[in-house]
Structure formats: structure tokens, C-alpha cells
Amino acid sequence: MSDGFGITARYLDAEECDRLTETVSGIPHGRAGIRHLMSDPLVAELAKSDRLMRLAADWLGGTAIPFRATLFEKSADANWLIPWHQDTALPLANEFQSPGWGPWSEKGGVMYAHAPAWALDRVIALRVHLDASDADNGPLRVIPGSHGAGVLTDAEISEYALKGEVVECLTPRGGVVAMRPLVIHSSSKLRSEEPRRVLHIEYADSLDFGERIQLAVC
């Protein structure tokens, strides 16, 4: 856990992956996937399943509440890359003014703000692989331990990426990658015909972060 990420193979079986893939295939997609999937019954059922809740709770120290689910999909028709970055924006139930929060934006009817490190340290993402992730279909790449540096500027992230160790998170179908939001990460374009669909589910130790700061469930 000190690396800020971990890979667990075979959390879902082939039938479960097939059901989830069929479900998300029937939902309108954006360029890179689908936002705000906690409203889908099958996705919400998976997010609240004992298997994933226990894994998230292990990372968060005892309590885990799912609050956001996103499908990331790469294919021959939607082939994209993501440069080195950290995940610093959180969905929030209401807008407020507090040191370290902002700037604000709206995505799909939900308000978002970039969050301070103390808030992001209370979050873990579980990336459920509906397809196997191999070296040729744009796997997640991470820099182990980089979450310990806190929230970084774009220039600091670029510098860190030049000197840091890089690990490709190669994961079988049904496997799960756990990742802290502040781990510096990226992914390349597909180099094969095999799609890469990942259900990215985020958990927090509470939806209430104090002082009117409430996570939105989306």
C-alpha cells in the first residue's frame, strides 16, 4: 500500500464481466467512456458488493462508501491517450468557499472542485477490468510512491515522470487495480485491436468532509 497502488487478479468471473459489458454498452458514450454510473443498478450493486467494499475498506482504514463510477473505454474507434497527471477533482453536493478547494467546474450536471491533499488521501479508486489490460491496449502506467508528494503542478508532475520508476499495471480480465488519486499516472493509445474497458469506482471513508463539504454520489 505504500506504493499507492496494488493489483488483485480475478475479482470478477467471465459471466460477471459479460453482464457489466452488456450493460454499459447500452448507455450513450462520450469520447473516452461514460461518467456518473452510480445511477446504474448493476454498477451500484457491484460497487457495494462485499468483495469490493472489503478491498476499499482495507485501503481506507476500515470504512468505505462508493461515491462515483466511471467507464473508461479505449477501442479502435475511440483511441486516446492520457499524459502524466494526478486525479484531483472531486464531485460535490454543493458549491462552497474553503482554502485549498477549486477551481470549480460542472460535468454532466454535477459540480466539481479540485481538492486539497488531505481530502484526496481519504479516497481510493478500484479499477475493475472488464477486458484484460496488456502492454498493447493502453494499460495504466503509474509511478509508485508518487502520491506522497502531495498535489503537484503540471511542471512538477512532468519533472517527477522523467526521473521516477514507471510500472505498467497489466491486469487480467476481472482483475482490480487499487489506486490513490494522487499517484502520478498515464496511459498510451492502443497498439492492437483489443479494447480496454475499465470500470473506475471511487470510495471515500465518509461522504462528509466537514464544514459543509459533502461528496456527491454520481
13-28 residue pLDDT tens: 999 999 999 999 888 8
pLDDT of residue 164: 84
* Domains, the chain, with CATH or none: 5-214 (2.60.120.620)
- Which positions of the chain have pLDDT values less than 70? 76
Question: What is the predicted pLDDT for the residue at 191?
Answer: 82
The HSE-up count of residue 72 (CA atoms within 13 Å, CB side) is 22
pLDDT at 98: 92
Angstrom distance (rounded) from CA 148 to CA 121:
10
The residue with cell 457491484 is: 46
pLDDT digits (tens, 9 = 90+) for 43-53: 999 999 999 99
Q: Which residue has the cell 477533482?
A: 89
* 3-state DSSP assignment of residue 77: coil
Phi, psi of 13 (to 5 degrees): -90, 175
Residue 19: alpha-carbon gap to chain centroid? 21
Spatial separation of the C-alpha atoms in residues 99 and 103, rounded to whole Å: 11
d(CA 118, CA 198): 27
